[in-house]
Amino acid sequence: MILVATLLCVLVGLVFYYDRKRKNTRAKKLLSKFNGSDGLPIIGNALELGFDSDGVSKILLDKWRKYGMTNYRLTVGSEEWVMLCESDDVGSILGHPTELAKPTERNAAMMPFFGNSVSTSEGERWKSTRKLMTPSFHFKTLEARVDAVNSRTDALYQVLDQYVDKAPVDIYRYLRPFMFDILCNTLMGVDDNMLANPDHPYLDASARVIKIATENYFSYWRNISFIFKLTPIYREMMDTIKTIRGYSDKLIRERRVKLNEFIEEIKSNNRDATVDINALIHEKVSEKACLLDSLLLSTLPNGDPAPDETINEEITLLCFTGHYTTTMTMAHTLYCLAKYPEIQERVVEEQNSIFNSDKLRQPTNHDLIEMKYLEAVIKESIRVIPTVTKIGRQLQNDLPLKDGRIIPPGTQVVVYYEALYADPKMFPEPEKYKPERFFNSLHPYAFVPFSAGPRNCIGFRYAWVAMKATLSNFLRRYEVLPGAPEDEPKFAHRIITESINGVKLRLKKREL
């Protein structure tokens, strides 16, 4: 008994010695200049964040208010976090030319699903992959992307018309496969009518990704691999990964057949020995702007073809994020318009002014540029219901802030969108839904839903085209009304914000 008590005392002493030693480091002294508390030895503020990943968002926002609605710090286990909520300081990290590494915990949560893809990779792989992707998202391709949205609108109408003047429809259920079909056609070169099968295993599996990834991020015990692998949650995660990765393999197989046919056609039409066939093939593929073709033709630094596993990681990421984030943003925008009918009416008035008497005409890219109020509505919906709740960087060097404070290397810097978008200094009366606020001058880093700087979202133009074209077609055909009181969305602010009970709205056909 005495031995146990002695060992316990030694252990407690070591814990407090370690904690005191940490507090005397340069890093801790620099971080002490930020509002926050150290929490408990070893675990820091981890217990304050709790064990419910869906509840962490409210706790973090409460802390922001407690600390004066400004930047603050947390200690989570051995990690130091600084939550950046000030526009100037957000600019300091997002505009930084070299601080591009994603946070360790974030990567650990995402890599099981998406591997070392462009979202998590660094250095040469990140640079080369991003360069390879750029042509597929170039502004010159935007008109073709608008056409892709328009060409699938009738199929969406056929589904949604069944709900006109009837019970509410969960907008998630049909916008997700609609967007997935568009993405597969434009970026993967494969046509797959997922809209006809909204219960497809891929859609079911991808709906689980965000919750599992968020729990991985905030459930610290999951880092203890041998324990995590014994749990049903681990088995669910592996089943989910198998399904989404398996669908990517299917896309690769199908597109490779079409690409090989395309290459053989080029070769048969260019038998002149002076023609550089490989250069011509890459030129033609670049013109088509099919991202999967570019990946299939890519090579490693040693000249070998990129392995299918590497290609799989990239398209699994793009298929998921490309359709999921745009769907959530559009669905949440429609929810806001149902909630504020006078703003919906202003959107429709703008549409009428653009299309005049030809209300059935499908939009062009030029039309989308003219939709200033619709764009403001989408932005305000993102501000009120941030699609992405936070992004981060793992500092490699000191990060000086505008006020002279320094965030030391090793710190996880989090751009905290929920607080940033609720800042009354940048957004007066932030509790109000006011799209017109985006017609005023705004700090360049006060609203950055697609990030900014070297590591911004490469597909942001694509996303804007897809969202504006879809909502333009949708709102000229349907009036959107709130669902039943019991259907009010229950938003969970995960890595991507989503309603756990869907977004259920009623539809009424407009007179054309």
CA angle 310, 312, 316 (to 5 degrees): 130
Helix, strand, coil shares of the chain as percentages rounded to 5?
60, 10, 30
Displacement of CA 512 from its chain's centroid (Å): 35
Q: 354-360: which pairs have CB atoms within 8 A and are 24 or more residues apart?
A: 355/476, 359/476, 359/512, 360/512
Q: State the SS3 of 116-185.
A: CCCCCCCHHHHHHHHHHHHHHHCHHHHHHHHHHHHHCHHHHHHHHHHHECCCCEEHHHHHHHHHHHHHHH
Tokens of 330: 């559009």
457 in a known ligand binding site: yes
The whole-angstrom separation of Cα 96 and Cα 79 is: 22
Q: What is the distance in angstroms between the CA of the first residue and the CA of the last residue of the chain?
A: 85
Beta bridge partners of 391: 415
The whole-angstrom separation of Cα 213 and Cα 225 is: 15
Beta bridge partners of 496: 388
Decide: 508 and 495 in contact? Cβ < 8 Å. Answer: no
Alpha-helix residue ranges (DSSP H) falling in 219-307: 225-228, 232-269, 277-288, 291-297
- DSSP result, 401-468: -TTS-EEPTT-EEEEEHHHHTT-TTTSSSTTS--GGGGGS---TTT--TT--GGGS-TTHHHHHHHHH
Report the amino acid identity of residue 172: Y
Report the amino acid identity of residue 222: R
Residue with tokens 């929920």: 418
Decide: 433 and 343 in contact? Cβ < 8 Å. Answer: yes
Q: Which H or E element spans position 321?
A: helix 308-339
The whole-angstrom separation of Cα 90 and Cα 443 is: 11
User: Which candidate, 213, 209, 210, 202, places its Cα nearest to that of 179?
Assistant: 202
Half-sphere exposure of 421 toward its Cβ, with a 13 Å CA cutoff? 23
Pairing of strands 72-76, 35-36: parallel
Residue with tokens 């290609």: 311
Residues in the annotated binding site? 457
Residues in the annotated binding site for heme? 457
